[in-house]
Amino acid sequence: QKEVEQDPGPLSVPEGAIVSLNCTYSNSAFQYFMWYRQYSRKGPELLMYTYSSGNKEDGRFTAQVDKSSKYISLFIRDSQPSDSATYLCAMSVGNTDKLIFGTGTRLQVFP
Amino acid sequence: NAGVTQTPKFQVLKTGQSMTLQCAQDMNHNSMYWYRQDPGMGLRLIYYSASEGTTDKGEVPNGYNVSRLNKREFSLRLESAAPSQTSVYFCASSEMANFMGYTFGSGTRLTVV
């Protein structure tokens, strides 16, 4: 079993939809949780960064961490065609800089 | 602020040829990483360097060597390329003292024929 599991998709939604992207993990020591966005033929870029449990909002994006269920989510409101990309979750144990990545979920938002 | 710069962006090699992928960062980060990304496999760590002068193997190091030339530069060498090394290679860097995830380069798309 992988430490981090992520559905590869693809997920196809109409413009304006609310998108939910999810990852599950097995290591209870993970404390830092991130979401990266990767456009086609580009490198991953950090989208959201959260520490421990709870929610964090940034514009149309909300990152949610449920440590009791070992489950993290990224919500995208009012999705746009420009949100079409692959979204990778990543997490790390505290006091280290070793990130464990999910395999990524490909999202397509059609007009 | 350039961030992480990788060269070349594209390369085609014949089986058995060698090449070096270059990576440089201008953020004064201590840690640097080399990943490969393949469809359905996600990002797989090849080698990493926690500081200048140190390197360690990651998940898939076979067939690769690395050099941490100085704090800015971390190169990846393929001594004898194989078709299985056809992939997209990403370099990344991070700072443990103020860890905010990794900054990635734009990638090198390598095809071995």
- Note the pLDDT tens digit of each residue in A46-73: 999 988 788 999 999 999 999 999 999 9
Cα–Cα distances (Å) from A83 to A19, A111, B1, in that order, read 10, 11, 25
Indicate yes or no: CB of A43 within 8 angstroms of CB of B4: yes
pLDDT at residue B111 greater than cutoff 70 = yes
Q: How confident is the model at residue A79 (pLDDT cuts 50, 70, 90)?
A: very high
pLDDT, position B41: 85
pLDDT at residue A96 greater than cutoff 80 = no
pLDDT, position B26: 96
Q: Which residues of B touch A97 (CB under 8 A)?
A: 31, 94-96, 99
Of the candidates A43, A90, A99, the beta carbon closest to that of B107 is on: A43
pLDDT, position A93: 81
Higher pLDDT, B61 or A9: B61
Q: How confident is the model at residue B85 (pLDDT cuts 50, 70, 90)?
A: very high
A97 touches chain B (CB under 8 A): yes
pLDDT at residue A80 greater than cutoff 80 = yes
Q: Which of B39, B79, B101, B11 is nearest to A8 (CA)?
A: B39
User: In percent, how much of chain B has pLDDT > 70?
Assistant: 99
Indicate yes or no: CB of A43 within 8 angstroms of CB of B31: no
pLDDT at residue A18 greater than cutoff 80 = yes
- Cβ atoms of A53 and A67 within 8 Å: the answer is yes
pLDDT in tens, B19-52: 999 999 999 999 999 999 998 888 999 999 999 9
Q: Which residues of A touch B92 (CB under 8 A)?
A: 43
Indicate yes or no: CB of A43 within 8 angstroms of CB of B105: yes
Indicate yes or no: CB of A88 within 8 angstroms of CB of B109: no
Q: How confident is the model at residue B96 (pLDDT cuts 50, 70, 90)?
A: confident
Q: What tokens appear for B44 in the block? A: 């797989």
CB atoms within 10 A of CB A30: 21
Per the prediction, chain B carries an average pLDDT of: 95
Q: Report the C-alpha gap between B65 and B67 in whole angstroms.
A: 7
What is the chain A residue with the closest CA to B42? A103
Indicate yes or no: CB of A102 within 8 angstroms of CB of B106: no
Per the prediction, chain A carries an average pLDDT of: 93
Return the ∠ at Cα A61 (arms to A58 and A52), rounded to 5°.
75
Q: Report the C-alpha gap between A33 and A52 in whole angstroms.
A: 7
